[in-house]
Amino acid sequence: MSDMSKRTEELALAEEQELGSGAIAGMVRAMLESVGENPQRDGLRHTPERFERAFRYLTGGYQQDPEKILNGAVFDVCYDEMVVVKDIELYSLCEHHLLPFFGKCHVAYLPDKKVVGLSKIPRLVNMFSRRLQIQERLTNQIAQAIQNCVNPLGVGVVIEARHLCMVMRGVEKQNSETITSAMLGAFRDNQQTRDEFLALIGRGNR
């Protein structure tokens, strides 16, 4: 490594250390030792701080509030067709193993004179994903937050995801996907609405 890139890395590291308290890094050092590693060797020397920084970022959703994300961006309209935002990339951590699960999230709602800025929906998905989750709860929280803030006639959320705690440990076939859905209001009561949503995300009548 050149002196220059070494310095850049050290600078980046100094920033990381400022952000984290170091409490997690200390535990990671102990964890590395307990599996027989040497946390002082070159490749691992800065790993505890990097892990802490990454982990704090991946759980940054606890610091955010769904109402703050959505409330400033709810607009009055006379549009009453379904709004669908599909294929939102999703990365979260399973609360049982602290391992990633990731996939796609599809969100739809049926406006009742109000819509929310489209970019807010992926932000909402990110916010709830950056907490320790189980997929079922994540799905429900996204649906419920939209229901509460936008007050539409109904909300549908579908998540398709792969869990590393399953595929890496060989619990399930490599390609198995977990699909969860939350249907509120018209999406629960009206089959036509639900079918329209599922057809739009490519999950209709299989």
Q: CB of residue 5 vs Zn ion: minimum separation in angstroms? A: 36
Whether residue 105 lies in the annotated active site: no
138 is an interface residue for Zn ion by CB under 5 A = no
CA-based torsion, 45, 47, 50, 51: positive or negative: negative
Whether residue 95 lies in the annotated active site: yes
β-strand partners of 184:
155
The DSSP H or E segment spanning 132 is strand 132-133
Q: CB of residue 118 vs Zn ion: minimum separation in angstroms? A: 31
The DSSP H or E segment spanning 27 is helix 23-34
Side chain identity at 8, as an amino acid letter? Answer: T
Stretch touching Zn ion by CB under 5 A, among 65-73, 92-100, 126-134, 142-150: 92-100
Lay out the site mask for Zn ion across 37-76 (x = CB under 5 A, - = otherwise).
----------------------------------------
Torsions phi, psi for 143 (to 5 deg): -60, -45
Q: Of 68 and 96, which CB lies nearer to Zn ion in the complex structure? A: 96
Q: Of 139 and 193, which CB lies nearer to Zn ion in the complex structure? A: 139
The residues, any chain, with a CB within 8 Å of residue 117's CB and separated by 6 or more, are 73, 75
94 is an interface residue for Zn ion by CB under 5 A = yes
Which residue has its beta carbon closest to Zn ion? 165
Which of 96, 118, 176, 204 touches Zn ion by CB under 5 A?
96
Q: CA-CA distance, 48 to 24, in Å (whole number)? A: 8
Q: CB of residue 101 vs Zn ion: minimum separation in angstroms? A: 7
The residues, any chain, with a CB within 8 Å of residue 133's CB and separated by 6 or more, are 92, 93, 94, 95, 101
Q: Active-site residues: which are they?
A: 94-97, 135, 163, 165
Which residues form the interface with Zn ion (CB under 5 A)? 94, 96-97, 165
